[in-house]
Structure 1
Amino acid sequence: MVSKLSSAEIVHFLLILLMILVPARLLGELCRRYKLPAIIGEIFAGIIVGPTLLGLFFPDLFKGIFLSAPHAFEAFDGIANIGIILLMFIAGFEVDLKQIRQNGKQAISISLTGILFPFAIGFASVWFLYQSHFANGFNNQLVTSLFFGTALSITALSVITKILLDLDILNTRIGNIVLTAAMVDDFLGWILFSVIIQLMNAGKQEVSFWKVSTVIVYAIFMLTAGRWLMHKLLAFAGKKNRPGRVLTVAVCLCLVSACITEGLGVRGVFGAFLVGVGINDSEYFTEKHKHVLHQFTINVLAPLFFASVGLRLNFIANFNLEVVVIIMIIACLAKLIGAGIGSALSGMTKNESIAVAFGMNARGSQEIVLGLLALQAKIINEPVFEGLVVMTVVTMIISGPIMKYYFLKEQSLKAPIGANIPDYLPSR
């Protein structure tokens, strides 16, 4: 018989939602007011109402709300997981395959060096420091090293997009190249992570290259024939000009793909991401549909997930400053060197290369998602996950101002004395 929540458990479930959503939205809006990503405030909201602060100073209150009704918290956890699946679905909207094809040659040096350097440095650093700092319950040095190489390679596409918008250079030549490079980083990073999940599932047994190949084949299918099939389904749903039907079909496609990738041994967020990429340019899935889904996910569901990150861990009891510093140094140096070299090779000036490198160094929601999935799979331990969270927050804060400084510095060198600084890099 299917069990259901009792009346008291429903009250607890609603109370948990309120206790998390209200401070997450308030702190998220406060961060936006000061031109910081809302995810920072949402994570801190979880830290405040979680075991770190509320559990420390008011342990009885914390236990009464979050621990006294396990089924209620499980229901909340389910909502939070739906939130992250939809968040990665809309993250796929930002990957424009047409733009990647158009700017691919120009962005290739930035994207490749921006991936290869962090991957190689992250892998090597964790490999040599594994026993002293990164050993965990999973006890697989190779998988842990591969995970870090992948996690450090990904650029936060949403963060870099916001930075480019704030600088008013999104539609310039450099803006397009940087955005394309970030798209490639984002997409390849998820492909790599899907392979790592397969290696993790293999454990100490022989790696199933058949399963790894199946995941890659599925990704290729979703970006080719799968795109055509999804387009036809959306066209059928939109025949009578009913936006609700198109939105329903799109979300169902997202959930079906998430189920498929879970069945293939990869997390559902990867399948959701692929559907977002695949239907992004469909004429039947319009900007209006994207806007409706984006607003609900970003303002309601995603805050629940990111606040739950702070809710799951005690950031004081598990905090390890040495691990945080090591992760910060590895992550920033690897990405700055890789993206900086790639920018220089693509013909950018010194100031432009530095600006682009700091922009590509911005991390965001993807790193948090990857880190939490790795924590749940026991690829990493809690202090290491907290180090990834700190690194993500710091790079989100510093990337925009530094990128702006070096772009303005370059503009001042090119503009005549006393002249207004123009948009000096037109996209056409």
Structure 2
Amino acid sequence: MTAPTMLHADPVPTIDAHSLLVFLLQISVLLLLALGLGRLAMRFGMPIIVGELSAGVLFGPSVLHALAPGFSDWLLPPTADQMHLLDAVGQVGVILLVGITGIELKFGLIRRRGATAVRVSLGGLLLPLGLGIGIGYLLPSAIVPDGVDLATFSLFLGVAMCVSAIPVIAKTLIDMKLLHREVGQLMLASGVIDDVAGWFLLSIVSAMATSGLTQGGATRALLSPVAVVVVATLIKRPLVRRILRFANQSPDAAPTIATVVILILLVAAATHALALEPVFGALVCGALIGSSGELDVEKLVPLRTTVLAFLAPIFFATAGLRIDLTALVQPVVLLTAVVVLLAAIAGKFAGAYAGARLSRLGRWEGLALGAGMNSRGVIEVIVAMTGLRLGILDTNTYTIIVLVAIVTSLMAPPILRFAVTRLDREADESLRSRDRDRDRDGGSGASRGR
């Protein structure tokens, strides 16, 4: 009689002591730098993301490796297994961050602002998208990563140039007390449309990069995101509503938080299995949760705090690790960075301004909308990290796109402040002019009465 066959494999070894030590130190140092530099950036009126990215830049090849290569190689060993631990934490962070962004999307703004928001958004979306695609085809071959199809690279560059960052826009509007003004509401409504369209386009490019540019691959890339949205709207919305209603029966926040996290991660996994981006699934799921009518927003405060204070800073600091500022020493990389930056700024400003003017808004309102829509911040960094993961970008092109995110986010507050000041001054002058006309008409009437 033969011995019974073993049906289970030997257990996988746990992480070794040295790798665990390095990982814990990496997380601690990155988080400490990210939070400290984020607060410093806030003090100087800059977006927090600038400080969080700077933590990675200081910790990475641009600074630490140049100053102390031995210590850098010990703390950031150039091995895939060690870096994948950091990447895993960052990926969970960005998926939950995008899910929370989806929960907070205000689709009612689009209905209230209607055609004006659509025109501003389309102008700010299509023009930089077209410029990005055109520039991608014209760039020197040395810039395009080896083995990457030029059409895929060009479309990805267009997507990176056309996105806007709702979190940066909202934070800027809150800081400047513009959130509830007409121009602020219109900016948010246009940004919501841009955000959704950007994630949709990113998923198409991701599917193209994964499936190739065959006719079947292109068709799948176009139809898969549509199918996800249709299924989510028709089937998953009622399911999500029932699940949330059940979770909310508990007065404790824990069941609701756990339920929201599980839903976001599961839908992200489902879209990833379809060769789409996990963040697209996270956004769709977040939008379903936010529009379900069953969510107790107060219960999600601990989750939002954890994501924004811990997971998101780790992701952006990790993103900063991939930036290599020494690449800008190369003339072709520096020239490409300048061209891409100028085209991204000009495309957003001109497109949003044209949409505003077509909607019969004033020039200063158009400039304010262009300034707000031009800030790319968080979203473009996520897009850049996606391109790096898919192999569409290399270190040089990744550095260029992240620099666009930083520069445009820094530009938004001062230009928006200038435009709103001029807008207020113009409104005051118009009001004083009406008062003078009314006084003159009243004086003329009194003279006639005498």
Deviations 1:405-424 (A, max 9, x none): 111112112215999xxxxx
CA contact (8 A) 1:114 1:339 kept: yes
Deviations 1:149-174 (A, max 9, x none): 11111111111112222222211222
Deviations 1:119-160 (A, max 9, x none): 11111121222x446421233111111111111111111111
Q: Give the Å deviation of 1:198.
A: 1.2
5+ residue gaps, structure 2, are: 1-10, 433-450
Q: Give the Å deviation of 1:62.
A: 0.7
5+ residue gaps, structure 1, are: 420-428
Structure 2 CA distance for partners of 1:418 and 1:200, relative to 1, 3 Å: closer
The 2-side partners of 1:310 and 1:21 are apart by 12
Structure 2 CA distance for partners of 1:400 and 1:224, relative to 1, 3 Å: farther
1:17 matched to 2:27: yes
The 2-side partners of 1:416 and 1:128 are apart by 47
The one-letter amino acid paired with 1:293 is L
Matching residue of 1:55:
65
Matching residue of 2:390:
377
CA contact (8 A) 1:23 1:45 kept: yes
Please give the root-mean-square deviation of Cα atoms over the aligned residues, in Å: 2.0
Matching residue of 2:380:
367
Q: Give the Å deviation of 1:69.
A: 7.4
Write out aligned runs for 1:20-419 (5 A): 20-67=30-77, 71-129=81-139, 131-132=140-141, 134-203=143-212, 205-208=214-217, 209-210=219-220, 212-317=222-327, 320-415=333-428
Q: Give the Å deviation of 1:104.
A: 2.5
The 2-side partners of 1:11 and 1:390 are apart by 32
The 1-side partners of 2:250 and 2:318 are apart by 40
CA contact (8 A) 2:94 2:311 kept: yes
Matching residue of 1:423:
none
Structure 2 CA distance for partners of 1:300 and 1:96, relative to 1, 3 Å: same
Q: Give the Å deviation of 1:365.
A: 1.0
Q: Give the Å deviation of 1:86.
A: 1.0
The one-letter amino acid paired with 2:197 is L
The 2-side partners of 1:212 and 1:373 are apart by 18
Matching residue of 1:424:
none
Larger radius of gyration: 2
Q: Give the Å deviation of 1:117.
A: 0.9
CA contact (8 A) 2:23 2:85 kept: yes
The 2-side partners of 1:376 and 1:68 are apart by 16
Deviations 1:48-87 (A, max 9, x none): 1112111111111111112187644432221111111111
The one-letter amino acid paired with 2:342 is I
Q: Give the Å deviation of 1:6.
A: 2.1
Provide the secondary structure at the position in 2 that maps to 1:100.
helix
Q: Which stretch shifts more, 71-80 or 237-246?
A: 71-80
The one-letter amino acid paired with 2:357 is A
The 1-side partners of 2:338 and 2:14 are apart by 46
Q: Name the TM-score, length of structure 1 as normaliser.
A: 0.93
Q: Give the Å deviation of 1:33.
A: 1.8
The 1-side partners of 2:57 and 2:343 are apart by 25
Provide the secondary structure at the position in 1 that maps to 2:325.
coil
- Report how many aligned residue pairs link the two structures: 418
Q: Which stretch shifts more, 100-109 or 241-250?
A: 100-109
Q: Name the TM-score, length of structure 2 as normaliser.
A: 0.88
Provide the secondary structure at the position in 2 that maps to 1:413.
helix
The 1-side partners of 2:365 and 2:20 are apart by 54
The 2-side partners of 1:247 and 1:187 are apart by 24
Structure 2 CA distance for partners of 1:252 and 1:414, relative to 1, 3 Å: same
Provide the secondary structure at the position in 1 that maps to 2:375.
coil
The one-letter amino acid paired with 1:40 is V
Q: Give the Å deviation of 1:354.
A: 1.0
The 1-side partners of 2:324 and 2:220 are apart by 39
Provide the secondary structure at the position in 1 that maps to 2:76.
helix
The 2-side partners of 1:118 and 1:416 are apart by 35
Structure 2 CA distance for partners of 1:109 and 1:313, relative to 1, 3 Å: closer
The 2-side partners of 1:333 and 1:157 are apart by 19
CA contact (8 A) 1:231 1:284 kept: yes
CA contact (8 A) 1:12 1:69 kept: no
The 2-side partners of 1:270 and 1:327 are apart by 25
Matching residue of 2:446:
none
Structure 2 CA distance for partners of 1:195 and 1:68, relative to 1, 3 Å: closer
CA contact (8 A) 1:112 1:342 kept: yes
